[in-house]
Amino acid sequence: MIDRLTMQDPRHQYPAPPFSRQPQSPPGLASRMEPVPDHGEESYGGFGRLTGRKALITGGDSGIGRAVAIAYAREGADVAINYLPPEGEDAQDVVSLIEAAGTNGFALPGDVTDEAFCQILVEDAVKKLGGLDILVINAGRQQTRPSIAAVSSEDFDRTLKTNLYALHWLAQAAVPHLPPGAAIITTASIQAFEPSAHLLDYATTKAGIVAYSKALAEQLIERGIRVNTVAPGPFWTPLQPSGGQTQEKVENFGSNSAFGRPGQPVELAPVYVLLASQEGSYITGEVFGVTGGKGVT
């Protein structure tokens, strides 16, 4: 395994820009990125924090979701991942990594912009996992547009359905299955607090995720269920080269962070583990910023 736990200068722990231009069609594949992101395949070691737990992760084939799936499996959880059918190559890699950790992995392809599918997805996960006590709502759509005139109604609708509607549909379907002690974790972004001009629809949804998660946390703590959100900054995932940024921005992605580089997905995984585990028993309604020094306010 790559050693992530030995003390070292975090500025130089992972690759820094400039990167090559590397356009992909959305949703993009991690395996085609250069450098290939570190999701923890060789660098995350677990400590049994989630032994016996049952998790469903959307967007679990690549990026943040892939890192969370690997970490959860190595912490002892059975994991079902959802992904779009074109991402099947990456998804099968993740399932193999889950099973190699000695837990059960399940691939559940489908589009979360469809309400009926979201209900089916939760039911399938419950059946395959034998229950559900961790829900990570992570799948996201991000497409850069140069001006308000270029954001079509189709753009706006698909981004809201992927990032916000699906959040509601999945949480609504999952809550009846979640026991006391369960956790829901959503993925927002620094864009909720420092929106970029070229990401109008995406930033809007990320602010909505923060508000929805805080409100849901107030509701569900009465059932003993915790809800929290993670707000990443610049992380090296397929969202970026597959239309989430211009290729000019991909070249220098993460250079304006305090570290001078983007984060790697594995660097987010421990936060998702904490929020899912009993070690996070007094944490709900919170926003955890992992922004490379920019903070969230």
- Which residue is catalytic, options 14, 83, 202, 212? 202
pLDDT value at position 2? 62
Closest-CA residue to 164 (of 210, 211, 209): 209
- pLDDT tens for 43-64 read 999 999 999 999 999 999 999 9
202 as an active site residue: the answer is: yes
- pLDDT tens for 122-141 read 999 999 999 999 999 999 99
What's domain 22-290's architecture?
A: 3-Layer(aba) Sandwich (3.40)
Structure tokens at 107: 């691939």
- pLDDT tens for 244-284 read 999 999 999 999 999 999 999 999 999 999 999 999 999 99
When the pLDDT of each residue in the chain is averaged and rounded to a whole number, the result is 96
One DSSP character per residue, the chain reads: ----SS---GGGSS--S--------TT--GGG-SSPP--STTT----STTTT-EEEEETTTSHHHHHHHHHHHHTT-EEEEEE-GGGHHHHHHHHHHHHHTTS-EEEEE--TTSHHHHHHHHHHHHHHHTS--EEEE--------SSGGG--HHHHHHHHIIIIIHHHHHHHHHGGGPPTT-EEEEE--GGGTS--TT-HHHHHHHHHHHHHHHHHHHHHGGGT-EEEEEEE-SB-STTIIIIIS-HHHHHTTTTTSTTSSPBPGGGTHHHHHHHHSGGGTT--S-EEEESSS----
